[in-house]
A and B are shown apart, each in its own frame.
Chain A
Amino acid sequence: MQPFNYLKPSTLTEAAALHRQADEPVYLSGGQTLIPAMQQRLSAPSDLIDLSGIAELSGIQAADGAIRIGAFTRHAQVAESAAVRSAIPALARLAGRIGDAQVRNLGTLGGSLANNDPAADYPAAVLALGATVHTDQRAIAAEDFFQAFFETALDHGEVIRALEFPRPRRAAYRKFPNPASRYAVVGVMVAEFDDGVRVGVTGAGPCAFRAHGLEEALNASLSPDALDRVEIPHEDFNRDLYASAEYRAQLVKVMAMRAVRDLFDP
């Protein structure tokens, strides 16, 4: 493994200052993507800035109609949190199925979102629930956050502080996991709010997106059958040895139907 400077700031201000001073710095959160990437020399930072010592990135608070989760919260903590399980059970279940148990014990919410892997689970929830990404500089709406393949709206050196998830009437997440990696070949979250239904899709395209066609159909009639005739545009969908673009489009529809069924029978 290539050498690097290891830095462990205790505040966000200090973290940002260290980031500015370094040549090729990278923030370290749970490390479950970054450290394997460094072992394979896909990433070779000059400075590793460990965010684990920053107290304000931790904690889960339930407030009126929303739940706020600190960026450093590990997937297992989200899955086990009584507050999350009671406010948005689908989010707790999603977190409990990310990767494997060892990954969930270290991987974090903020780390996963900043990385924006096209097959990560959380982005589907952030979009379907209309979450707000709070950073050390500003608040970013879910729609604006995921921009392209491994690209987010975060500026150089900007750190995610917390996620604020509005509480839906009900929500459900279904994924078709890659049997080896447990990443989503396709994952779909359907969330029903007072003002309509939102659908977040991960795994299918270069980055997670809202499926407006599915939303329209479900706003007309919230039932699995309503999705039967919806076309899923798939020109820019991912194709790899696991699934063609056409197959992923079919999976989007099937996972969405199953999620809608789960809304009525959780």
Chain B
Amino acid sequence: MAALNKHIHLRVNGVSHALEVPANMLLVELLRQRLRLTGTHVGCDTCQCGACTVHLDGRAVKSCALFAVQADGCRVCTIEGIGGPGGLHPMQEAFRDCHALQCGFCTPGMIMRAIDLVERSDGLDEQAVREGLEGNLCRCTGYHNIIKAVLQGQEAMEADDD
């Protein structure tokens, strides 16, 4: 049976898209292959590592764990939507400052999850950050500097709000 195409509308990083997609296309495939937003990474392809984390209507989800058709009518924000060279998001700045990455492969997912975590909590401590990052795997850093960066990013995000 041929995969039947579906028409969907979604907003990605503030830009509206009307697209025709095969029903079996994952959201991460749409982002990377169709929209060429390759900052969102595919790490494990089994919905475990969190490298593909994006925001769907403001909440962190693994974009390999849902089909693009399920995002019809939703807002999606990827790593490209939060900041870039010359204007890094405070969480990106904190990751750079704390040396919270080595190979960098998990970093976009870590940062998207960290921003969601900070936005939804009030006053995270180290333990809360460790628990909050349970869905994101890093094979290089041993996590220590990532935790430091999220705590520093939290302070910077709160200072920005004031």
Contacts and interface: CB of A to CB of B under 8 A. Distances in A.
A99 B134 CA distance: 8
A48 B6 CA distance: 13
B26 interface: yes
A100 B50 contact: yes
A257 interface: no
Nearest to A180: B48
A87 B139 CA distance: 41
B23 A105 contact: no
Contacts of A50: 69-70
Contacts of A102: 50, 53, 60-62, 65, 113, 135
Contacts, number: 82
A99 B48 CA distance: 10
B65 A101 contact: no
B60 A48 contact: no
Interface string B57-81: 0011110111101100000000000
B45 A48 contact: no
B23 A5 contact: yes
A6 B23 contact: yes
Interface string A151-184: 0000000000000000000000000000001100
Contacts of A31: 65-67, 70
Interface stretch (A32-40, A111-119, A140-148, A205-213): A32-40
B144 to A, nearest CB: 17
B65 A4 contact: no
B33 to A, nearest CB: 13
A21 interface: no
Contacts of B62: 102-103
Interface in A25-70: 28, 31-32, 35-36, 39-40, 46, 48, 50, 52
Contacts of A101: 60, 113, 116-117, 132, 134-135
A148 to B, nearest CB: 26
A106 interface: yes
A241 interface: no
B45 A39 contact: yes
B23 A48 contact: yes
Nearest to A48: B23
A106 B61 contact: yes
A40 B46 contact: yes
A106 B66 contact: yes
Contacts of B53: 102
A6 B134 contact: no
Contact of B135 (A1, A4, A40, A100): A100
Contacts of A40: 46
Interface of A: 1-6, 8, 28, 31-32, 35-36, 39-40, 46, 48, 50, 52, 76, 99-103, 105-106, 181-182
20 contacts: A1-B26, A3-B23, A5-B4, A6-B69, A28-B70, A35-B66, A36-B65, A39-B45, A39-B46, A48-B23, A50-B69, A100-B50, A100-B135, A100-B136, A101-B60, A101-B132, A102-B53, A103-B62, A106-B61, A181-B48
Interface of B: 1-4, 6, 22-24, 26, 45-48, 50, 53, 56, 59-62, 64-67, 69-70, 113, 116-117, 132, 134-136
A-B CB proximity, top 6 nearest: A100-B135, A3-B3, A6-B23, A36-B47, A100-B134, A105-B59
